[in-house]
Amino acid sequence: MRQTEVEARRADSAAVGGDEKRAYVRTVFEQIAPRYDLLNHLLSFNVDRLWRRRALRALGWARAPEGRYLDLCAGTLDVGAQLSRQRGFGGFIVGADFAVPMLRAGAGKAPPSVLAPVAADAQQLPLRDASVDGATVAFGIRNVASLDAALREAHRVLVPGARLVILEFTTPRWRVVRALYHLYFHRLLPFIGGAISGHHTAYRYLPQSVAYFPPEPELARRMTAAGFADVRWESLSLGIAAIHVGTKA
């Protein structure tokens, strides 16, 4: 079997979840880190910037503008940097990700006195109970080996009344939109992503991981099961992505 076929099978298997997913995701994101930001903006036609702004509004950081915030699966620190630039924000942000090259690729996006990258797994955070005033995770929660473990860990570190905001890809429900989405997401995106990043299976894993990720109502149910209250969600861009918000009671 050719190496490319082996890697393709690994990508498909990792999308399902478990320990194999953890190892695969770490390796892949370490390899694509140098081109990650470019591809994010290119492949989403820059709409990802708008989605992140919507997610930060949902965070409600103005309730504690001097507080401590967490960006889970922070990648290249885009969300944390964007939060640090909000008018009136005077707090501190921890950007946690277990792929250290991704964090390094985001170096310089915000002063270290405001945004600190931390090498950490979303399922085992080096933070005290009830120590952060809000948490975000953008396009990363579907990459953790155990969704439920990550949700419970986020709940643990939040102070009562704080919010968790999840921004994640979804599968559109409208038939025509879904057909166009599948054409782009499963055919064009892997080709373009592979050509630019030089990694020909990383962008095969992306659409597969979205396909295996729980739909919006199921994710909301699992957030509730992890202890979050007042869980709500809204679709973005005809159902291509969604924002979920839950509050620690």
Would you state the structure tokens that stand for residue 98, as one six-digit string? 């277990």
Burial letters for 190-227: b for 16+ Cβ neighbours within 10 Å, e otherwise? Answer: beebbeebebbbbbbbbbbbbbebeebeebbebbeebe
68-96 pLDDT, tens per residue? 999 999 999 999 999 999 999 999 999 99
184-235 pLDDT, tens per residue? 888 888 888 888 777 767 778 888 888 899 999 999 999 999 999 999 999 9
Angle between helical axes of 3-14 and 19-32 (0-180°, round to 10): 120
Torsional sign, CA 207, 43, 32, 76: negative
Q: Which pLDDT band holds residue 2 (cuts at 50, 70, 90)?
A: low
**Cβ(67)–Cβ(140) below 8 Å:** no
CATH H-level superfamily of 3-248: Vaccinia Virus protein VP39 (3.40.50.150)
Would you state the structure tokens that stand for residue 104, as one six-digit string? 């390094």
Note the residue count of the chain. Answer: 249
Residue 43 has a pLDDT of 67
Provide, rounded to the nearest whole percent, the portion of the chain with pLDDT above 70. Answer: 94
